[in-house]
Structure 1
């Protein structure tokens, strides 16, 4: 089976690392990105250097037309879509729920929940037997993130429910749906919290004593997309250094 995989939020962090890791397994990659075309093209170049094909496609995953265009571009340029890494997500400034700005709440929910559902829905429409979806969640979904971003945690809990429910819907069609829940990983998302030192400040809470890397999360995603995980569906794999 030839693998054609859509990776949302593919221009940086976990998404970029996943694109490069999947290229080593021969996946053709549609690198979805929202604004940084240069970074997306660099990822495309890295995928091609690894011997696979790729295309960068601008898409706001919270916009239905953009999601449809992303999947259409992937199919037209690379072939029938067989995989989705539902990775695009955002955070917002840290603080208690009582202080949360309504605009920030809607923005996080639009991207992390509506966007994830739109992409998963389109994958469910186009995939056939052998297809696989990996939704990128967070340990925040089970920890709640009190005092930091309860709304972000809730958005990722919705992603976990999506993983479980859609896995049961698509199992008979031979399409697997799983999730990966990273803990604290060294990526740019921490800058969105208003505390650029946040990642370093939380190391003491991590049993493993360090932050994770995007490449470590990418390995888990690659396994869940691979034939080696053929009996895994409806599960969310925690990759969090013990959190």
Structure 2
């Protein structure tokens, strides 16, 4: 464990901590000195496994199902976590619905609305109710986003459009909350061989040929792994990045160049 990277009082909340990337973020935060409160929406078993990763690093973990579209539920959850654990010093947003690859011309309005509610509005809710606690701790927010902000990928609008809202909220927090010592940053993910891309492969939206082509089109000639994301997230959330706010680091092997 590294000393002094995070406050000793309070916890890190990881929204979406049950996912492939989210679980590794939980583990690395624990390695770097955080107790972790992680949430899930549909997979309690994976959330329990993520909690075990945290405990394996010698830190405390609590997990709970949370519907981030429900503002009242989010407020109750964040306030209770802060009360039970002495505050909240870090908020990590690693959530988001499974994103099928569909061209804009074929996306039904109700489907786009669903993704905006689950992702953009959900992120707004957790930020809105975490901010009073983050002000008290002079804490930080890190939001997982997409490298397609910088280099648009065809048929990826259901990811890019909602995450653009996430990015705007992140920048707004950095601009408005810096006076309270709160920082907000993001990581823009390329192809990561876990989580979303594993599920999309199972559903037939992508295949091994797609993944190999993606690696070939990346300057580093490989796809990313959960640890690549988790290390960047922990860095941005920690005191190592104490003068960094409103920024986004691309975890994409150079794809966005």
The TM-score range, normalised by the shorter chain, is over 0.9
Q: Please give the root-mean-square deviation of Cα atoms over the aligned residues, in Å.
A: 1.6
The runs of at least 4 consecutive aligned structure 1 residues that moved more than 3 Å come to: 198-201
Give the one of 236, 247, 251 matched to 1:224. 236
Does 2:62 correspond to 1:55?
Answer: yes
1:143 aligned counterpart, secondary structure: coil
TM-score by length of 1: 0.93
The reply on whether 1:209 has 2:221 as its aligned counterpart is: yes
Match of 2:96 in 1: 89
Question: Across the two proteins, how many residue pairs are aligned to each other?
Answer: 242
Q: Which runs of 5+ in 1 are unaligned?
A: none
Cα shift readout 1:39-92 (whole Å, capped 9, x = no counterpart): 111111121121100100110112212312331342244321111001111243
Q: Distance in 1 between matches of 2:169 and 2:211?
A: 27
Partner of 1:28: 35
The match for 2:3 is none
Does residue 1:233 correspond to 2:245, yes or no?
A: yes
Q: Distance in 2 between matches of 1:68 and 1:130?
A: 19
> What is the DSSP-based 3-state SS (H/G/I as helix, E as strand, rest coil) of the residue aligned with 1:68?
helix
Residue 165 (structure 2) aligned to one of 146, 158, 168: 158
Q: Secondary structure at the match of 2:153?
A: coil
CA distance in 2, matches of 1:194, 1:120: 34
Instruction: Give the TM-score normalised by structure 2.
Output: 0.88
Cα drift, residue 213 of structure 1: 0.5
The residue number in structure 2 matching 1:132 is: 140
Structure 2: stretches of 5+ with no match in the other structure: 1-6
State the Cα distance separating 1:207 from its structure 2 match.
Answer: 1.3
CA pair 167-208 structure 1, distance change in 2 beyond 3 A: same
| Inter-CA distance 214–93: structure 2 relative to 1 (3 Å threshold) | same
